Amino acid sequence: MATQPRLAAFGKGKGLKKMDLTKVFASRTRLRLVLALLCMALGTAALWAQADTGTISGQITDEQGAAIPAASIHLVEANTGSSRSAQTNEQGRFTLVSLPVGTYSFTVSKDGFQTSKATGQKVDIGEVLTLNISLKIGTATLYRKLKEYGAKAEG
């Protein structure tokens, strides 16, 4: 009868303790297998999440370059009609992540400024589209009212 290889190891205050090498290697192999499977699962999930999305980011400013905080941003995808809304932060910046690939219309509005619209904005896989937009002072509502009364708007 063959004896199994043994390894001497330090025990807790009991001197040397004999351990079965097959158990040591079997537990290490199982641990490596579990870790490898975990890494593969997490890596696959991360790749899957990025498979078909992109990002739009930028800054909204006035004509002098000052940031416009709390500007409303509205996106509409041309083919599906799906939409997403956001607001700019205190520095006038915004970021819209995980947008499905497609072509979007982009509308920015803020009280006291004219609404700005950009169409045909293409979002590609894994890309960041940067849109920096400058809003003009004034409101579209005021312009329409002046037009109704036959007055000319200056500017």
* pLDDT tens, the chain, 155 aa long: 555 555 555 555 555 555 555 665 566 677 676 666 666 766 665 555 546 899 999 999 999 999 999 999 999 999 999 999 999 999 999 999 999 999 999 999 999 999 999 999 999 999 999 999 999 998 655 555 445 555 444 44
Residue 67: what pLDDT? Answer: 96
Residue 22: what pLDDT? Answer: 60
In this structure, what token pair is assigned to residue 152? 């000319």
Residue 152: what pLDDT? Answer: 46
Q: Is the dihedral of CA 107, 74, 135, 59 positive or negative?
A: negative
Domain limits, the chain? 6-48, 53-147
Residue 32: what pLDDT? Answer: 73
| Predicted TM-score (pTM) above 0.75 | no
**CA distances (Å), origin 66, targets 31, 57, 137:** 56, 17, 12
Domain at 53-147, CATH class: mainly beta
In this structure, what token pair is assigned to residue 132? 């920096």
Write the pLDDT tens digit of every residue in 126-154. Answer: 999 999 999 999 865 555 544 555 544 44
Q: Which long-range contacts (CB under 8 A, 24 or more apart) does 48-51 make?
A: 49/98, 50/125, 50/126, 51/125
Chain center to CA of 76: 17
